[in-house]
Amino acid sequence: MAKGDLWTDISHAFWRITMNLQVSRFQFFSIVLNFIIYSSILMAPGITVINAKQDGWLSMLLALGVGLAANFLYLMLFKKHGYPSLFELMDRSAGKWIGTALNIVIVFYALHLTAMVVRNLSNFMITDVSPYSSPYIYQILILLVVAYTSYHGVKNLFLISELFTPFISLFVIGSLIVIIKHFKIIELKPFFYNPPSAILEGAYSTLGFPFIEIMLAGAFLTYVKRKDKLVSIALSAIAIGGAVLVITVILVIGNDSAYIVARESYPTYSVMRDVSLTTTFKRVEIIIGIAWIIGLFFKISTCFCVAMMGIKHLSKSKTFRGYIVPCAILVWAMSNGLHKTFIDFTNFVSMDWTLYWFTLYSFVIITMLIGLARKRA
């Protein structure tokens, strides 16, 4: 046997192993937790405070409550169907043609979200870290890492998440502890000062980002080896991630005031930039910056893998490896072409993103309910 043929066989064997192995409940928990926290921890305070002012933490708390309710319904319907693949479930519930159309929409949403997070990463790097660099450098680098991770299968993503989650969680906890010493409760008072409509608007801005987006993780439910208490585990990850975001909003407002937070693109990072532990240990904001970048890698990889799984299902292929490079190029083009300026990007996320994702959520829920009705008929 030629050396090249041997290497090909070994590569294919590794692919089958990584794709067929089941993931543990903790690995799934870590993916959901990273998805919730690191997509929002730097931007969420600014988005909620714009509308709700010092009551922004109430908006985040309300968004968490609604998000938990929405995901409870979504996960319970998955459980009723026996935790199949998300794309298989759409076909089974809506029929071949409508199911195929819905799966195409889900793939588009996953690719769109991937592009938005890639753009968010590059915006952060050129806004607060390295203003004179090109955004293309960061976009291409992260997509190369994501493509390499996807090439080695979904299992590879979960293994990396299991390894890194404890470390980046410590980074975030340490970062929040550091800024407590500058916290001033007066910045949060008076409580409920703003009208309910303002608090609702603040909650609306962050409901889709990230509490409805997490529905994409439903594509991985079928891979979890032990499915008992899976709904509770997923909801626990969402609740813990949401609680971290609520605490972050409280601390950021208490450090900088609602007036300043509303004018910052990444207020969490800006708050930490003003903190120094000692005269020799400064620039502690890099701690949360590193954690955020690693966390964004997991979110980008999650969305990208879901899109690849959907394309694999639609094309009836044995592997999605052939689609990785074209889709990565498409994501890069989308990340730069959909929103020309940072202001346009931020406005779209705060004003339209929740409705955009709730539309997909509603179609999927209705389809799942139709599937249950057809099973009982």
Mind listing the pLDDT tens digit for each residue in 270-295?
888 777 665 555 666 777 788 888 99
Parse the chain into domains and list their residue ranges.
23-376
Q: What is the pLDDT of residue 347?
A: 85
Mind listing the pLDDT tens digit for each residue in 142-173?
999 999 999 998 889 999 999 999 999 998 88
Q: What is the pLDDT of residue 282?
A: 60
Q: What is the pLDDT of residue 13?
A: 47
Tokens at 309, concatenated: 């799984």
Percent of the chain's residues with pLDDT above 90? 60
Q: What is the pLDDT of residue 1?
A: 47
- Signed CA dihedral, 140, 171, 67, 228: sign only: positive
**Prediction pTM value:** 0.91
Q: In sequence order, what DSSP letters do the residues of 280-301 get, joined into one string?
A: S---THHHHHHHHHHHHHHHHH
143, exposed or middle or buried, with CB in 10 Å at 0-12, 13-18, 19+?
Answer: buried
Mind listing the pLDDT tens digit for each residue in 216-274?
999 999 999 988 899 999 999 999 999 999 999 999 999 988 888 888 888 888 888 77
Q: What is the pLDDT of residue 131?
A: 84
Q: What is the pLDDT of residue 358?
A: 96
10, exposed or middle or buried, with CB in 10 Å at 0-12, 13-18, 19+?
Answer: exposed
Question: Is the CATH number 2.30.42.10 carried by domain 23-376?
Answer: no
Q: What is the pLDDT of residue 114?
A: 97
CA distance 16 to 14: 5
3-class state of residue 321 by DSSP? helix
Amino acid at 151: Y
H or E segment and range at residue 267: helix 267-273
Taken as a whole, the chain contains a residue count of 377
CA distance 374 to 312: 26
3-class state of residue 43 by DSSP? coil
100, exposed or middle or buried, with CB in 10 Å at 0-12, 13-18, 19+?
Answer: middle
Contacts of 168 (CB under 8 A, 6+ apart): 34, 38, 290, 291, 294, 295
**Mean pLDDT estimate for the chain:** 88
188 vs 109: which has the higher pLDDT: 109
Percent of the chain's residues with pLDDT above 70? 91
28 vs 130: which has the higher pLDDT: 28
Q: What is the pLDDT of residue 17?
A: 46
Mean pLDDT of 339-368: 91
Mind listing the pLDDT tens digit for each residue in 8-61?
554 444 444 444 568 999 999 999 999 999 878 888 888 899 889 999 999 999
Q: What is the pLDDT of residue 244?
A: 95
CA distance 243 to 245: 5
